[in-house]
Chain A
Amino acid sequence: MSLDDSRVDRRDLLKYAGAASAAVLAGCTGDGGDGGSGGDDGSGSDGDSGDGGDGGSGGDEEGEQLSDVNVGVTMGQMDSGLDPHDHAETNTDIIVSQAYEGLMGREPDGTIVAALATEWERVEAGTARFTLRDGVTFHNGDELTAEDARYSIRRIELEEVGGALPQAGDLVGAGSLDGVEAGDGEVTVGFAGLNPIVFQLFATNGQVMQQSWVEENDTDFINRNVNGTGPFQLAEYDSGNEVVVERYRDYWDGPAEVASVTLNASSESSTRVNRLLAEESDVVTNVPPQEVSRVEESEVASINPVPSTRVIFLQMRYDVEPFTSQEFRQALNYAVDNAGIVESVLNGFGASSGQPTLEQFTGYSPDVEPYPHDPERAEELVEQSGFAGAEIELQTPIGRYLKDVEIAQAAASQIDSLSNVSCELNQREFSALVQDITTGEIEDKPAFNLLGWGNGEFDATQTIIPLMTSDGALTILKNDEVDAMVAEAQNEADPQAREQLLQDLNAFLHDLAPWVFMHQQFSVYGVSGEIEWEPRADEIIDPYRARPQ
């Protein structure tokens, strides 16, 4: 955090030293309502007709003084342009989400809340209706209309409107949009099938842009400028270097407590930590385990970890020996000490897993425990599988996930230490590995590789469908029972019945073991002692909720 006047004092020593050497070297707090909340399905609404919110603060209209606090955020990488629909990665999402919002939103723990829509309901199986919030304005002063919401949905989903955007399918499923109608303060969306998680999808995706602004400007302009409805508006944009956003005073949920946010990036983790310790940044992302003690021992910052939505696993192709054997796949799960790896490699910043679905997600089965580390049982299962003496290779990306190579080395070593299996490690550039994974043909995929998967929708199917169903874009499994259980869950309208179906599916997948289940990755933030800020599970950073200490 920095106040303009506090910066003046911070480098006094330099000034004195610099003066000598220059010649030589030539908020106020507010308490609105807590927003509304909705169920995972069915309908939901804002709690108090849209006034206030738990991140809001009073405005100077009431005579209260707004702070001039700036919050600095340093990430690992900058944005890939400011078009909220034309990207598919977290860093860009962090930046554009300061200024753009969707019809629905999420609390830091993933709970669905109202955003630009105050109410939503499923009208019938393939139709959802959203009631827009009144009095919302874009940063250029124009009012949000139902046409803007309609246009944004169509821009994301339809190639003839927005071109081939990477977020196509994120709202209702690829090719599933069946018309969007804009009425009087309402938007009605039609889609194929039941789509039981349509509101989860809308809560994570679908930021709303102003139709006329998009149509009047070209791609280059839209990627360097911002016109959203969010709590911050763009002040400065230096592509690849720094983005400064400042408080939008007419924000529908009240102006932010912090006056501005400076977002920059350093790919070097040590540089990010140094910025934090030198009080140049207030929040830094992805503090690696080896830097944690340096932050914790400082007097100016602390470590703030949060379970993320990313699961790390070793996937095994169902059609390649020895992975064709369920016993063999289970054996590898017993061989790998995932809890030990979390402790020793990740300093405890992870949670070992035994199913594809994470604990805070819909469909997580609390009855399924991670496989225990039991090398003797693993050797027995290998013998039973008929693949004793198997030689396998684990492929891992380099530097894509937190400590990925070290995790893969530990896992491969533990498998290799079995008396009847030998395992080698093959480290690959992520881009090369992705090329094999994304061809759409299961035959092209590696037989055994480490991968991570983020699931911002907080629903089991958003992991299982792409990675484990026969038609999944990244699948390594073709199993009729899995397909049938997924289909049943996707056609179940009752949330509780669906939850049970998904829990059963997760228990089934635990036993089927298409993965060596590894762990849930934690997001580890370094946070300045000068601000109060809680991280979110979905890796988005929201300074709107930050407060000076």
Chain B
Amino acid sequence: MSVARFVTKRVVQGVGVVWGVVTVVFALRFVTPGSPVNAVAPLDASQETRRAIAVELGLDQPLYVQYLQYVGDLLRGDMGFSYVRGQDVARLVFLKLPATVELAVAATVLAIAISIPLGVLSATRRNQPADYLATLFSLGGISTPNFWLGIMMILVLAVQLGLFQTSGRGVGFPGVLAAVVGPEPFLDTLLSWLSYITLPAIALGTYFTALITRLTRSGMLDELGEAYVQATRAKGLPETLVRYKHALRNTLIPVITVLGLQLGTLIGGAVITEAVFSWPGLGTLVIQSINLRDWPVLQGCLVIIGTSFVVVNIVVDTLYAHLDPGVVYD
């Protein structure tokens, strides 16, 4: 199967999955207790006021009409209107998406920068102190809840030592980019950005770091025992070349797959980290929307998160087949 056909097939499947997500998200509103009217009306609102609000929100329409209306609007790029905030949902959601992507990418970069060298070190120094330390780190990283780690880092590194900001996003990465060409001092802006993003990126990325470290270590151990590695050594290649040019490259194929999938998970799974650090992304918007019972915004967030996951999956599958000649597009 050609790449084009493979991608087309996956996109069609992806559309089906997104449609499923949209349908489930829409249905959730009706199986969850509590009328959306209660999100708008005060507790002591009269029944007349409640009925008027329901009519204004279109909640008096039959369910299938509301569903078809919602899907139709989505196809036109209209994610609806937040009756709680009185604002356009698409704008709200897309304004928050960059912050979540920024945090997810920062966590991923941090994880890659730490985990791959650590995994290689652990594998090449098997059963030595470095290996034990790396294993202990990865075990700790996988076992530590990110909300606890976040709170502890805030208490020690931000409140006690004053090294970082406790919460918020500051200027964000776009602010750093703007400082490259703008009048703001670049180094100050960069450091300010780092003071905001470092702790949430560590909190979000620690589990991921530990996971990739273990994956890299086991992959390297497998590859180092392969016949082709013995052959390269027999040819007299330096050990550095054997490890990094041959063994590591093959190890990275499954690592890249996990990296890609994990990026999708990070976009959707940053809810707790964003809440702990008041990071103004989709996760915080999800929490706020649940608290406000703002269903249109919650639906918008979940659709975007679901779609992001599907898109990342398609890209990773395509890349995987491209990176590993042993895999055929089927």
Contact = CB atoms under 8 A, between A and B. Distances in A.
Interface of A: 10-11, 13-15, 17-19, 21-22, 24-26, 77-81, 83, 86, 88, 159, 163-164, 166-169, 174-175, 219-220, 222-224, 238-242, 264-268, 270-271, 274-275, 277-278, 280, 429, 431-432, 434-435, 437-438, 440, 453, 466, 472-474
A25 B280 contact: no
27 contacts: A11-B191, A18-B190, A19-B187, A22-B191, A25-B113, A26-B113, A80-B85, A81-B87, A88-B42, A159-B52, A166-B40, A166-B42, A174-B48, A174-B49, A219-B86, A224-B87, A241-B284, A264-B278, A266-B278, A267-B287, A271-B276, A274-B154, A432-B34, A435-B38, A437-B43, A466-B44, A473-B47
A24 B294 CA distance: 42
Given A18-B191, A22-B190, A164-B49, A11 B167 contact: no
A434 B38 contact: yes
Interface stretch (B71-79, B155-163, B234-242, B244-252): B155-163
Contact of B33 (A26, A222, A268, A435): A435
A169 B34 contact: no
Contacts of B84: 80-81
Interface in B1-56: 32-35, 38, 40-50, 52-53, 55-56
B154 A166 contact: no
Contacts of A83: 86
B208 interface: no
Nearest to A78: B288
Nearest to A430: B34
Question: A-side binding surface: helix, strand, loop or mixed?
Answer: loop
A241 B169 CA distance: 10
Given A83-B86, A240-B96, 8 more contacts: A18-B191, A77-B292, A88-B42, A174-B48, A241-B284, A278-B166, A431-B293, A473-B47
Contacts of A11: 162-165, 191-192, 195
Given A25-B110, A238-B280, A271 B194 contact: no
A222 B198 CA distance: 36
Contacts of B192: 11
* Ranked 10 nearest A-B pairs via Cβ: A431-B34, A432-B33, A164-B52, A241-B280, A223-B86, A88-B42, A81-B86, A466-B44, A81-B85, A266-B278
B285 interface: yes
Nearest to B201: A25
A22 B162 CA distance: 18
B322 to A, nearest CB: 26
Contacts of A265: 278
Interface in B56-99: 56, 81-82, 84-88, 91-92, 95-96
Contact of A271 (B48, B85, B277): B277
B275 A17 contact: no
B165 A280 contact: yes
B178 interface: no
A435 B5 CA distance: 51
A14 B86 contact: no
Contacts of B92: 239-240
A77 B289 CA distance: 10
A22 B96 CA distance: 26
Contacts of A224: 87
A434 B166 CA distance: 35
Given A166-B42, A169-B49, A240-B284, A274 B159 contact: yes
Given A26-B109, A473-B46, A271 B87 contact: no
A275 B40 CA distance: 30
A77 B167 CA distance: 15
B38 A13 contact: no
A26 B55 CA distance: 53
Given A18-B195, A223-B86, A432-B34, A438 B292 contact: no
A166 B38 contact: no
Nearest to A465: B44
Contacts of A434: 34, 38, 43
Interface string B103-119: 00000011001000000
Contacts of A264: 168, 278
A167 B42 CA distance: 8
Interface in B171-200: 187, 190-192, 194-195, 198
Nearest to B272: A268
Contacts, number: 184
B288 A271 contact: no
Interface of B: 32-35, 38, 40-50, 52-53, 55-56, 81-82, 84-88, 91-92, 95-96, 109-110, 113, 151, 154-155, 158-159, 161-169, 187, 190-192, 194-195, 198, 275-278, 280, 284-285, 287-288, 291-294
B154 A473 contact: no
A166 B285 CA distance: 23
Contacts of A266: 167, 275, 278
A472 B44 CA distance: 8
Contacts of A238: 95, 280
Nearest to A466: B44
A391 to B, nearest CB: 25
A209 to B, nearest CB: 14
Contact of A440 (B47, B91, B167, B191): B47
B191 A14 contact: yes
A438 B38 contact: yes
Given A25-B110, A265-B278, A222 B86 contact: yes
Contact of B151 (A17, A78, A239, A270): A270
Contacts of A268: 275-276, 278
Contacts of A274: 154-155, 158-159, 166-167
Contacts of A14: 162-164, 191, 194-195
Contacts of A240: 85, 92, 96, 280, 284-285, 288
Contacts of B194: 14, 18, 21-22, 25
Contacts of A466: 43-44
A298 to B, nearest CB: 9
B281 to A, nearest CB: 9
A278 B165 contact: yes
A25 B111 CA distance: 11
Contacts of A166: 40-42, 45, 49, 53
Q: Which of B113, B169, B194 has the most CB of A within 10 A?
A: B194
A435 B291 contact: no
B162 A278 contact: yes
A167 to B, nearest CB: 8
B87 A223 contact: yes
Contacts of A21: 194
B95 A239 contact: yes
Nearest to A453: B43
Contact of B86 (A86, A159, A169, A429): A86
A514 B26 CA distance: 40
B303 to A, nearest CB: 17
A164 B53 contact: yes
A224 B88 CA distance: 10
Nearest to B289: A240
A351 B194 CA distance: 45
Contacts of B191: 11, 14-15, 18-19, 22
Nearest to B37: A438
Contacts of B276: 268, 271
B91 to A, nearest CB: 8
A474 B33 CA distance: 18
Nearest to A435: B34
B208 to A, nearest CB: 16
B188 to A, nearest CB: 8
Contact of A435 (B35, B96, B164): B35
